[in-house]
Amino acid sequence: MIAGKNVLAFVMAGGEGSRLHPLTAERSKPSVPFNGKHRIVDFVLSNLVNSEIYSVYLLVQYKSQSLIEHVRKSWVMTPFLPHQFITVVPPQMHHGAAWFQGTADAVCQNIHLINLVKPDLVAVFGADHVYRMDVRQMVQHHVDTQAHVSVAALPVPVSQCDQFGIIRTNSDTRITAFEEKPRTADSMPGRPGFTLASMGNYIFSTDVLLDALNEAHSKGENDFGKHILPRLTKTHKVVAYDFATNKVPGVQEYEEAGYWRDVGTIDAYFAANFDTIGERPRFRMTNPQWPIYASPDQVEAAQIIDGQLRNSSIGAGCVLRGARINGALLRREVVVEEDAEITESIIMDRTVIGRGAKVRRAIIDQNNIVRPGDRIGFDPARDRERGFHVSEQGIVVVGRGQLR
């Protein structure tokens, strides 16, 4: 019970993540690895569990097998309490032989689960953002304002308005208009150059959600941002919850206040990973008072035989032999041979960096073998010729198992 209410959560984990290709060539966006041993989905699940929301349905769709396996191994709730579960739900085809057609359709196909649990409130959260959030505070705000729907919101540059649902509010935070990914947007009063955006996290009063889903289905509509929320702002009390007011225990003074990142592109994903390392990171992954849970390590500790290591994160099972590593994140069981150099790069699980190889500003996905003397990240044209993806900011991405 939160603020006297039973809360059921739906996590929208079906994202295809086309802008993260090739990291999403064989996995969904929420399943993409992050930092040393996490997946992107771990952030929303940790926030919900830390907020004492234990009834969670994870709605999956595209290339979901690795995500299903991760949840099965890492997110097992007690089987003895019926309202404590994290359950993966693929498309059920209740309305015909079709996958989820949008965020609202995904929940609409699972109305029977809402009727089964009979919650007072339903949280609908995205699965592809990096942040900490005490959802209880948003629920309390929903109750205190007597809202029918609450939308978590934060300012973003006007230049990015086409990536978000954009909100207009009156003086008491009631949303008067909601427009999904408009081409232009007005600045917020008193904050030129910024506009108020939805984080994709919603709290619904259950009866309002059920009515809205049934109406949308009858009209052939399928999306919260495009269809349901714009209509509800005209008929119901829809309020904005200011994410900047959310306070999470254990956050250090040097961390960025209200840290939240949409890691939907290679460049944004790359930058967010590096926000987590250093003596005073913008986002500290280790916070005992608000942990971001991850899959358990079953491998031995890292072994650093020799070499130079600076401002880097080294995962369990890694073996470093006489390498030079500067500003890098190595996930689990990475082997780096003598005289190899890694600079500002993310090296994922079970990858081998051969003797004398050099990797700079790159993401090397799982199960790759970078041959001795190879160079990646020094010649964009050559990297493209080899079939590697090169981002707008010059980050080279080697796909899973692409080098063998």
Domain boundaries, the chain: 7-254+258-262, 303-398
pLDDT, mean of each 10-residue run, the chain (404 residues): 92 86 94 94 97 95 88 80 84 60 87 95 96 98 97 95 93 92 90 94 98 92 92 97 97 96 95 96 96 85 93 95 96 97 98 98 98 98 97 97 94
Torsion sign, CA atoms 263, 265, 268, 272: positive
The vertex-119 CA angle with 118 and 123, nearest 5°, equals 135
Q: What is d(CA 110, CA 112) in angstroms, rounded to the nearest whole number? A: 5
Identify whether the C-beta of residue 177 lies closer than 8 Å to the C-beta of residue 267.
no
Q: What is d(CA 381, CA 167) in angstroms, rounded to the nearest whole number? A: 42
Q: What is d(CA 266, CA 166) in angstroms, rounded to the nearest whole number? A: 23
pLDDT on residue 273: 98
Q: Hey, what amino acid is at 394?
A: G
Q: What is d(CA 209, CA 10) in angstroms, rounded to the nearest whole number? A: 12
DSSP state of 34: E
Identify whether the C-beta of residue 204 lies closer than 8 Å to the C-beta of residue 211.
no
pLDDT on residue 95: 55
Identify whether the C-beta of residue 285 lies closer than 8 Å to the C-beta of residue 300.
no
- Quick check: helix, strand or coil at residue 134? coil
What angle, 0 to 180 degrees and rounded to 10, lies between the N-to-C axes of helices 65-74 and 41-50?
30
Q: Going along 145-193, which residue ranges are E strands?
A: 149-157, 165-169, 175-180
Q: What is d(CA 59, CA 159) in angstroms, rounded to the nearest whole number? A: 31
Identify whether the C-beta of residue 5 lies closer than 8 Å to the C-beta of residue 139.
yes
Query: 7-254+258-262 belongs to which CATH class?
Result: alpha beta
pLDDT on residue 78: 64
pLDDT on residue 180: 93
Q: What is d(CA 182, CA 225) in angstroms, rounded to the nearest whole number? A: 11
Q: What is d(CA 99, CA 46) in angstroms, rounded to the nearest whole number? A: 27
pLDDT on residue 315: 94
Query: 303-398 belongs to which CATH class?
Result: mainly beta
pLDDT on residue 92: 64
pLDDT on residue 314: 95
Identify whether the C-beta of residue 49 lies closer than 8 Å to the C-beta of residue 32.
no
Strand partners, 12: 59, 126
Q: Rounding to the nearest 10 degrees, give the CA dihedral for residues 163, 164, 166, 171.
A: -130
The first and second tokens of residue 172, run together, are 């008491």
